[in-house]
Amino acid sequence: MNEKELESLNFPDAPKIVSSTFPGPKAAAALALSARTESMARGGGRMPVVMDQAFGVTVRDPDGNTFIDLSAGVGVSSVGRCHPKVVEAIRKQSEIMMHAMDINSSRRTQLAAKISEIMPEGLRGDCITYFTQGGSDALEAAVKFAKRITGRHQIIAFHGGYHGVWHASNALTTGTAYRNGYSPFMGGVIHAPYPYAYRFPFDTTHKSAEQIAGEYVDYLLNTPYTAADDVAAVIVEPVQGEGGYVPPSPEFLQLLRKACDKSGALLVVDEVQCGAGRTGKMWAVEHSGVKPDMLTFGKGMGGDVPMAGVVMRSDLAAKIPDGSAPNTFAANSLSAAVSLTNIELLQDPELKLLQRAHDLGQEAQDYIRGFDCPFVGEVRGRGLMIGIELVEDKATREPLRGENLGKLMNYVLSHGVMMVPCGRYTNVMRVMPSLTIPRSLLFKALDVFRDGLKTL
């Protein structure tokens, strides 16, 4: 598919702000209604945008303003929103069956078989999927199953990690905003440093952050008197997402694999955000050659409809008693039909979306580095999972202050570009568009972002 064809899968006029105020009058009324009627515990409630229609990477609000979405709904719309093939799959499936409970049904069975085919080595062809609705519950399931399989109770997770907001998944998640006032969470979680080289707490003169962080987990797992003596699993994001878009070198996961093998702990890779092609391979763990014991997926595997789950080695899954974890809505036939279509598009030999994610990601990183802006501390990423770490001062690395971030966010939004920040100091801007983003729209949006930086 050429650029013109990709462009045709978007509203033609993005970015375009037509309302004389921003947000416009209809959006302002909807935001006020939402504030009175819906919980703001959700993440996106405070963003002054109301989405009314979406096509590809473009979004319209009720006032007719059109945005380019560089966030893909936080990594969800890998193949672009309302892709004609997805819409057709929904139409067809909705005419024959949508809800089937969690008994066997044609689409979920096909999807489980397809997932087995596309898994990374170690799981491919010999794995079992347990479906859930969203990422948080996929992680809840992974923790529960890891405990049942190993007969152990502790979990090692990482500083900066985000795995969800429920009792077990929130225990793994380290963000203060998600934890404050909600504890105690599930016990038995030990947090270790993630190899975030830009802000690593230890001296990296003689060893890389990846070596130090990997060896530390080995020390925890395989040394007496660390109190990590009953660890069921190490749960890790192969590329850290909410913690700041941090792509470690392959050595980190390789060291974790060795440490887990020595201790008998399972290695669980959380691919909810970095999976489904985003990093240029179907699964981010594949950049390291490591074979995981379990893999959690979500976001991009569902796209326009919710779809998530945990995949386990078959021999491990055999230890989980039948009927011990029912789930009413999981693998709804509509979701399964959409997920099968998404996978088909991701694997389409003409579209080459994974290669596109890799190539366009490289090009975008180089372009952003060329901004020569005093606020850009570091540009990093893998494929179309790019983080731009913004700082007040490149020498001290002081994170960009909240008021500057607010100014930047307002600028980009009111000029028709949607971006979502992340990071431990909310100072990392993400570039994570649909893998189908036309080059023209990607670079138009990056130019708006660059102009926004100039206003700081």
Ligand X SMILES: Cc1ncc(COP(=O)(O)O)c(C=O)c1O
Cβ closer to ligand X: 75 or 377? Answer: 75
Residues 6 or more apart whose Cβ sits within 8 Å of residue 43: none
Cβ closer to ligand X: 11 or 185? Answer: 185
Are the beta carbons of 227 and 189 closer than 8 angstroms?
no
SS3 letters across 237-280: CCCECCCCCECCCCHHHHHHHHHHHHHCCEEEEECCCCCCCCCC
Are the beta carbons of 310 and 164 closer than 8 angstroms?
no
Q: One-letter amino acid identity for 436?
A: T
Instruction: Report, in Å, the least distance between residue 97 CB and ligand X.
Output: 24
Q: One-letter amino acid identity for 339?
A: S
Instruction: Report, in Å, the least distance between residue 66 CB and ligand X.
Output: 26
Burial (Cβ within 10 Å: 0-12, 13-18, ≥19) of residue 159: middle
Instruction: Report, in Å, the least distance between residue 273 CB and ligand X.
Output: 3
Candidates 61, 270, 286, 304: give the one binding ligand X (CB under 6 A): 270
Strand partners, 132: 308
Are the beta carbons of 308 and 83 closer than 8 angstroms?
no
Max CA-CA distance within the chain?
Answer: 66
Candidates 14, 139, 364, 431: give the one binding ligand X (CB under 6 A): 139
Question: Among all residues, whose Cβ is closest to ligand X?
Answer: 135
Cβ closer to ligand X: 137 or 210? Answer: 137
Instruction: Please report, as residue ranges, which positions from 164 to 193 form the binding site for ligand X (by CB under 6 A).
Output: 164
Instruction: Report, in Å, the least distance between residue 172 CB and ligand X.
Output: 9
Instruction: Please report, as residue ranges, which positions from 425 to 444 form the binding site for ligand X (by CB under 6 A).
Output: none
Candidates 60, 108, 152, 163: give the one binding ligand X (CB under 6 A): 163
332 near ligand X, rule: CB under 6 A: no
Among the candidate windows 28-36, 48-56, 162-170, 344-352, which touches ligand X by CB under 6 A?
162-170
66 near ligand X, rule: CB under 6 A: no
Query: Contacts with ligand X: how many residues (CB under 6 A)?
Result: 15
Instruction: Report, in Å, the least distance between residue 24 CB and ligand X.
Output: 29
Residues 6 or more apart whose Cβ sits within 8 Å of residue 16: 65, 66, 416
83 near ligand X, rule: CB under 6 A: no
Among the candidate windows 62-70, 159-167, 326-334, 443-451, which touches ligand X by CB under 6 A?
159-167
Parallel/antiparallel/unpaired status of strands 294-297 and 308-313 = antiparallel
Candidates 135, 175, 214, 361: give the one binding ligand X (CB under 6 A): 135
11 near ligand X, rule: CB under 6 A: no
361 near ligand X, rule: CB under 6 A: no
Candidates 78, 263, 273, 427: give the one binding ligand X (CB under 6 A): 273
Cβ closer to ligand X: 63 or 237? Answer: 237
237 near ligand X, rule: CB under 6 A: yes
Cβ closer to ligand X: 152 or 430? Answer: 430
Instruction: Please report, as residue ranges, which positions from 296 to 315 form the binding site for ligand X (by CB under 6 A).
Output: 298
CA angle at 246 for the pair 245 and 252, rounded to the nearest 5°: 150
Instruction: Report, in Å, the least distance between residue 268 CB and ligand X.
Output: 11
Q: One-letter amino acid identity for 284?
A: A
242 near ligand X, rule: CB under 6 A: yes
- Cα dist from 117 to 121, 264, 297, whole Å: 10, 26, 15
* Of the candidates 257, 253, 255, the residue with the CA atom closest to the CA atom of residue 283: 253
Instruction: Report, in Å, the least distance between residue 42 CB and ligand X.
Output: 10
Candidates 136, 174, 332, 365: give the one binding ligand X (CB under 6 A): 136
Bin 65: left if φ > 0, else alpha if -120 < ψ < 50, else beta. Answer: beta
162 near ligand X, rule: CB under 6 A: yes
* Of the candidates 147, 156, 149, 169, the residue with the CA atom closest to the CA atom of residue 219: 156
Q: One-letter amino acid identity for 31?
A: L
Chain-centroid distance of CA 183 in Å reads 24
Are the beta carbons of 402 and 390 closer than 8 angstroms?
no
Residues that bind ligand X (CB under 6 A): 74, 134-136, 139, 162-164, 237, 241-242, 270, 272-273, 298
